[in-house]
Amino acid sequence: MVSYLTRIFGLARLDLAEDVIQDTLCRAMETWSLHGLPDNPSAWLMRVARNRAIDLLRRDDQFRYLAPELVHFLRLQQDLPVETPAFEKEIQDDQLLMMFSCCHPELSTEAQVTLILKTLCGFSVSEIAHALLDGEDSIEKRLGRARKLFRLSGPFVEITNASEIPKRLEAVYQAIYLLFNEGYHGSRSEPTVREDLCFEAIRLALFLSEHPEGEPMPCLRCFVSTRPVFTAV
């Protein structure tokens, strides 16, 4: 949901996208407790988030001139089978594309990885600190500087050319590896293995390995090639 909405709002409005998601989750808790789970919870969440985004776009003065096009895009986005690539070798996976978009060239690799883990991988500040062997205060400051940079960079930050991909690979590699590491043996004592994180890291690594500009690092190649099967205990 973060990846989807951030592509609409732009990374400069990351806070707005996160607010929409929080509102959507709160509404889900209220509605589902009364009426039960919908047939397709994921689709329900995306639809409600999209409608909430449309409401905010209509009210926001800074989006006033862009609102008709963005609203139309939001309404049609899920109805399109496959988007036409904006350029040759464009990354088609929303999650992976937003990882690369987080790697602003004016940010250090550590800041890029921190932003990816917090925004797109759902890590808490303490989990990021554990993964990067750093203090929580340092992580908070790093996130604050990164968000400020994106707010000042204009409303939309996208990868517009395949030549930008290799320059940002290192941070994306690290983020995917740390995502797998947190799932396989992370900061939490329970559960021992978080299969959702492991499989998402493997999915992203496989997708990246198949891209013309991507070649997995040795540390990634180990778990991509083995494709471990996890059994719930």
16-27 pLDDT per residue, tens? 788 888 899 999
pLDDT in tens, 34-81: 888 988 888 899 888 888 877 776 776 555 555 555 555 555 455 544
- Average predicted confidence (pLDDT) for the chain: 76
- CA distances from residue 46 to 23, 25, 99, 203 in whole angstroms, order as listed: 12, 10, 20, 21
Mean pLDDT of 69-95: 54
Q: Which residue has the tokens 């909405």?
A: 5
Rg of the chain on CA atoms, in Å = 18
- The pLDDT assigned to 113 comes to 94
Strands (E), the chain: none
Rounded Cα–Cα distance for residues 85 and 91 (Å): 8
The confidence score (pLDDT) of residue 193 equals 77
Q: What is the DSSP letter of 84?
A: P
Q: Check residues 168 and 74 and name the one with the higher pLDDT.
A: 168
pTM: 0.69
Residue in the structure block whose two tokens are 């494709």:
227
Closest CA to 183 of 168, 159, 200: 200
**Residue 26 CB coordination number (10 Å):** 10
pLDDT tens-place string over residues 107-136: 899 999 999 998 888 888 999 998 898 999
Kindly report the backbone phi and psi dihedral angles of residue 39, in degrees, each rounded to the nearest multiple of 5, phi listed first: -60, -35
Q: How far apart are CA 178 and CA 112, in angstroms?
A: 13
CB 202 within 8 A of CB 176: no
- pLDDT at residue 61, rounded to an integer: 58
C-beta separation of 167 from 204 below 8 A: no
